[in-house]
């Protein structure tokens, strides 16, 4: 059982930056691909970014490409999401997730473990 704990959310003005962190309890963290998803009020949870086990491959939703960067530090069992150029449309609860299964990185159902989420609010 992998426990994931997100942190780093908050309130920021449009154009600002935040860095989210997700700490994993599992010592075999490096064997998991990791993803970030978000869910705005009244909307479905959507894919934001993902990174493979080594960090060599990253994937982004079109809406965040060029503004967000996913990275990981396997020595610290942590994955990060650097968010720059934030827009009010980025307001949501952000979740990190872990998976070992292969397949589309944007597919929610392939992720086995989820964190509790952290709120990001971008004011205009």
Pick the closest to residue 61 from 29, 92, 99, 24 (CA basis). 92
Q: What is the pLDDT of residue 24?
A: 95
Q: What is the pLDDT of residue 85?
A: 98
The per-residue pLDDT string of the chain (124 residues; one tens digit each, 9 = 90 and over) reads 899 999 999 999 999 999 999 999 978 899 999 999 999 999 999 999 999 999 999 999 999 999 999 999 999 999 999 999 999 999 999 999 999 988 899 999 999 999 999 999 999 9
3-state secondary structure of 108: helix
Q: What is the pLDDT of residue 26?
A: 79
What sign results for the dihedral spanned by CA atoms 99, 6, 25, 49? positive
Q: What is the pLDDT of residue 119?
A: 98
3-state secondary structure of 10: strand
Give every CB contact of residue 36 below 8 A, 6+ residues apart in sequence: 20, 22, 48, 49, 50, 70, 79, 81, 94, 95, 96, 97
Give every CB contact of residue 28 below 8 A, 6+ residues apart in sequence: none
Q: What is the pLDDT of residue 101?
A: 87
Q: What is the pLDDT of residue 73?
A: 96
Output the CA torsion 87→91→96→101 (10° steps). Answer: -80
């Amino acid at each position: 059982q992998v426990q994931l704990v997100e942190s780093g959310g908050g309130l920021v003005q449009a154009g600002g930056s935040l860095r989210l962190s997700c700490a994993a309890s599992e010592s075999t963290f490096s064997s998991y691909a990791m993803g970030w998803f978000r869910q705005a009020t009244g909307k479905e949870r959507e894919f934001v970014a993902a990174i493979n086990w080594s960090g060599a491959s990253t994937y982004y939703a079109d809406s965040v490409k060029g503004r967000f960067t996913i990275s990981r530090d396997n020595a610290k069992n942590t994955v990060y999401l650097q968010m720059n150029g934030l827009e009010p449309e980025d307001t949501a609860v952000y979740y990190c997730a872990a998976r070992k299964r292969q397949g589309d990185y944007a597919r929610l159902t392939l992720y086995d473990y989820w964190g509790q989420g952290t709120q990001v609010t971008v004011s205009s």
